């Protein structure tokens, strides 16, 4: 981010305005489209302003963890494609993409969004593995909230393929994946003393700190991640929670 614009943006914030004209607690326009890739058990594309993320869910038969012999498993991965930003490079997953995936994973796992017991095929031997892959298409800031929403949208739509004990028949998908709660993520950043929802890329580049908050349907917080190099006060966090609880309702409504 260039300094000229940084000074300008901070001056604007002091006047109570954001660079794209939004209110401080206002999120960008969101579009969700489903079924964007037919070989996936569930897939969704989410646009938050000009930020775009694609998520596909695949199901495979695998072994359960020894300590949870009757539960399916979840694996979340994220690829920050160099296609989506001049700042992303080819190669093994960057630390940012690992964080992106892990924070999406945390909200889904901790809110028990998927009824994993229903994904048991043979106790201790075979369970469904839910593989959630996130791909960034365009980065204009706040990939985190977009990815979490896209993951949830794809999960909600996902159907379980047929399995005869030997082979998975991906051409036949019947029952819906058992989704029992809807954890959405809402990020708020801090620039000087200003708290801004759903940061765009310019804002993200000059932020001091960020808090991503995962909220479940009943207003419960299921995940948090503080990001950025700066600090937050208890007062900040309290305000950020209020903002995110409010915005999370809007996101959940989009999922229907």
User: Site for other proteins (CB under 8 A): which residue of 58, 106, 190, 210?
Assistant: 58
Residues 6+ apart with CB under 8 A from 86: none
User: Site for other proteins (CB under 8 A): which residue of 24, 25, 26, 50?
Assistant: 50
Give the footprint of other proteins on residues 59-78 (CB under 8 A).
60, 77
| Residue 219 C-alpha from the chain's centroid | 17
Listed ranges 35-43, 63-71, 183-191, 227-235: which one lies at the site for other proteins (CB under 8 A): 35-43
Question: Rule CB under 8 A: is residue 28 a binding residue for other proteins?
Answer: no
User: Site for other proteins (CB under 8 A): which residue of 23, 33, 34, 83?
Assistant: 83
52/145 with CB nearer other proteins: 52
Question: Rule CB under 8 A: is residue 138 a binding residue for other proteins?
Answer: yes
Question: Rule CB under 8 A: is residue 37 a binding residue for other proteins?
Answer: yes
In whole angstroms, how close is the CB of 170 to other proteins at the nearest point?
A: 4
Listed ranges 63-71, 127-135, 175-183, 224-232: which one lies at the site for other proteins (CB under 8 A): 127-135
3/233 with CB nearer other proteins: 3
Structure-block tokens of residue 83: 């296609």
SS3 labels along the chain: CCHHHHHHHHHHHHCCCCCCCCCCCCCCCEEEEECCCCCCCEEEEEEECCEEEEEEEEEEEECCCCCCCCCCEEEEEEECCHHHCCCCCCCCCCHHHHHHHHHHHHHHHHCCCECHHHHEEECCCEEEEEEEEEEEEECCCCHHHHHHHHHHHHHHHCEEEEECCCCEEEEEEEEECCECCCCEEEEEEEECCEEEECCCHHHHHHCCEEEEEEECCCCCEEEEEEECCCCCCHHHHHHHHHHHHHHHHHHHHHHC
Q: Are strands 194-197 and 209-215 parallel, antiparallel or unpaired?
A: unpaired
Listed ranges 53-61, 106-114, 187-195, 243-251: which one lies at the site for other proteins (CB under 8 A): 53-61
Helix (H, G, I), strand (E, B) or coil at 159: strand
Listed ranges 6-14, 177-185, 188-196, 228-236: which one lies at the site for other proteins (CB under 8 A): 6-14
User: Site for other proteins (CB under 8 A): which residue of 14, 82, 238, 242?
Assistant: 82
Listed ranges 7-15, 120-128, 179-187, 244-252: which one lies at the site for other proteins (CB under 8 A): 7-15
Question: Rule CB under 8 A: is residue 185 a binding residue for other proteins?
Answer: no
Q: List residues binding other proteins (CB under 8 A).
A: 2-5, 7-9, 12, 17, 19, 21, 36-41, 43, 50, 52, 54, 56-58, 60, 77, 79, 81-86, 90, 92-93, 131, 133, 135, 137-140, 170-171
């Amino acid at each position: 981010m260039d300094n000229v614009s940084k000074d300008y943006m901070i001056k604007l914030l002091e006047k109570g305005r954001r660079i794209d004209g939004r209110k401080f607690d206002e999120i960008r326009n969101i579009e969700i489209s489903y079924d964007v890739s037919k070989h996936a058990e569930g897939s969704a594309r989410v646009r938050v302003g000009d930020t775009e993320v694609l998520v596909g869910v695949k199901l495979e038969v695998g072994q359960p963890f020894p300590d949870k012999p009757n539960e399916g498993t979840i694996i979340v991965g994220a690829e920050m494609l160099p296609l989506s930003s001049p700042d992303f490079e080819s190669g093994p997953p960057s630390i940012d993409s690992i964080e992106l995936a892990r924070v999406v994973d945390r909200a889904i796992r901790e809110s028990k969004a998927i009824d994993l017991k229903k994904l048991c095929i043979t106790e201790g031997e075979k369970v469904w593995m839910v593989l959630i892959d996130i791909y960034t298409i365009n980065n204009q800031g706040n990939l985190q909230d977009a990815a979490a929403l896209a993951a949830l949208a794809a999960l909600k739509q996902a159907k379980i393929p047929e399995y005869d004990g030997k082979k998975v028949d991906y051409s036949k998908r019947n029952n819906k994946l058992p989704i029992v709660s809807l954890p959405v993520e809402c990020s708020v950043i801090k620039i000087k003393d200003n708290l801004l929802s759903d940061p765009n890329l310019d804002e993200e580049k000059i932020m001091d700190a960020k808090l991503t908050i995962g909220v479940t349907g009943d207003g419960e917080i299921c995940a948090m991640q503080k990001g950025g190099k700066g600090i937050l006060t208890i007062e900040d966090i309290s305000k950020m929670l209020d903002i995110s609880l409010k915005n999370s309702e809007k996101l959940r409504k989009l999922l229907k």
